[in-house]
């Protein structure tokens, strides 16, 4: 990654992080309920019986309402667990699931680890993002876990990034390893995006 690209990504991430931190608790609750409704509709539209998702941090658009509702509906939900080698292990979410703070400060589920290839069996991947552009390019938070996972899958299912409405932007700084997504889910809408080649 060039210095200019790295600086552009850092500046955009800092701006987005600050915007997220300024949201009120009421705005976060409303957003989480909207995300739940949008994700449930997406799961129904795709006929997904197994999904991967992530445990949202306090500033991210909330995914816990969706995860709990999906478990109640009998949908198998895999949650990521970070590995030191930059890959993700997976564990099955449960209604009374425990979680811990990862060394990187994000919430992680506690459970039996299924290994990186477990995600190959899901019908839908739901991933975090800092921003997504209108061409489908996702910008994460700089750790590369989801880019590596998506990039390594031979038969990748639809991948939707969960973001706030304002985080769908015209363009994001892009590096060679960055992976596009199929679409975005925000608190108010779900959009399929044209993936640029």
- What is the reported pLDDT for 1? 55
Rounded-to-integer distance, Cα 94 and Cα 105, Å: 22
Mind listing the domains of the chain with CATH numbers? 3-189 (3.40.50.10420)
Question: CA-based Rg of the chain, rounded to a whole angstrom?
Answer: 16
CA distances from 155 to 124, 149, 152, 158, 173 (A): 11, 12, 9, 10, 26
**What is the CA 29 to chain-centroid distance, rounded?**
18
Instruction: Pull the structure tokens for residue 153.
Output: 């899958």
Rounded-to-integer distance, Cα 179 and Cα 24, Å: 31
pTM for the whole structure: 0.93
Half-sphere exposure of 102 (CA within 13 A, CB side): 17
- What is the reported pLDDT for 59? 93
- What is the reported pLDDT for 75? 97
- What is the reported pLDDT for 131? 95
- What is the reported pLDDT for 123? 97
- Helical spans, DSSP H, in 53-189: 64-72, 145-152
- What is the reported pLDDT for 196? 57
Instruction: Pull the structure tokens for residue 192.
Output: 């399929």
Instruction: Pull the structure tokens for residue 79.
Output: 């949650």
Question: How confident is the prediction along the chain (197 residues), in pLDDT tens digits per residue?
Answer: 578 888 888 888 899 999 999 999 999 999 999 999 999 999 999 999 999 999 999 999 999 999 999 999 999 999 999 988 888 999 999 987 787 887 777 888 888 999 999 999 999 999 999 999 999 999 988 778 999 999 888 889 999 999 999 999 999 988 888 899 999 999 999 999 986 54
Rounded-to-integer distance, Cα 82 and Cα 127, Å: 14
């Amino acid at each position: 990654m060039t210095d200019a690209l790295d600086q552009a990504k850092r500046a955009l991430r800092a701006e987005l992080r600050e915007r997220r931190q300024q949201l009120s608790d009421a705005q976060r609750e409303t957003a989480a309920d909207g995300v739940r409704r949008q994700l449930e509709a997406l799961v129904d539209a795709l006929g997904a019986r197994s999904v991967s998702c992530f445990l949202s941090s306090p500033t991210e658009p909330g995914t816990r309402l969706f995860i709990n509702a999906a478990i109640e509906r009998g949908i198998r939900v895999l949650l990521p667990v970070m590995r030191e080698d930059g890959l993700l292990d997976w564990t099955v979410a449960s209604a009374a699931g425990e979680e811990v703070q990862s060394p990187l400060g994000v919430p992680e589920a506690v459970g039996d680890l299924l290994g990186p290839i477990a995600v190959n069996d899901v019908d839908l991947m739901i991933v975090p993002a800092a921003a997504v552009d209108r061409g489908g390019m996702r910008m994460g938070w700089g750790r590369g876990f989801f880019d590596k996972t998506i990039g390594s899958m031979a038969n990748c299912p639809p991948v939707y990034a969960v973001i706030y409405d304002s985080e769908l932007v015209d363009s994001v700084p892009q590096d060679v390893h960055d992976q596009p997504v199929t679409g975005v889910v925000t608190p108010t809408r779900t959009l399929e995006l044209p993936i640029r080649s």
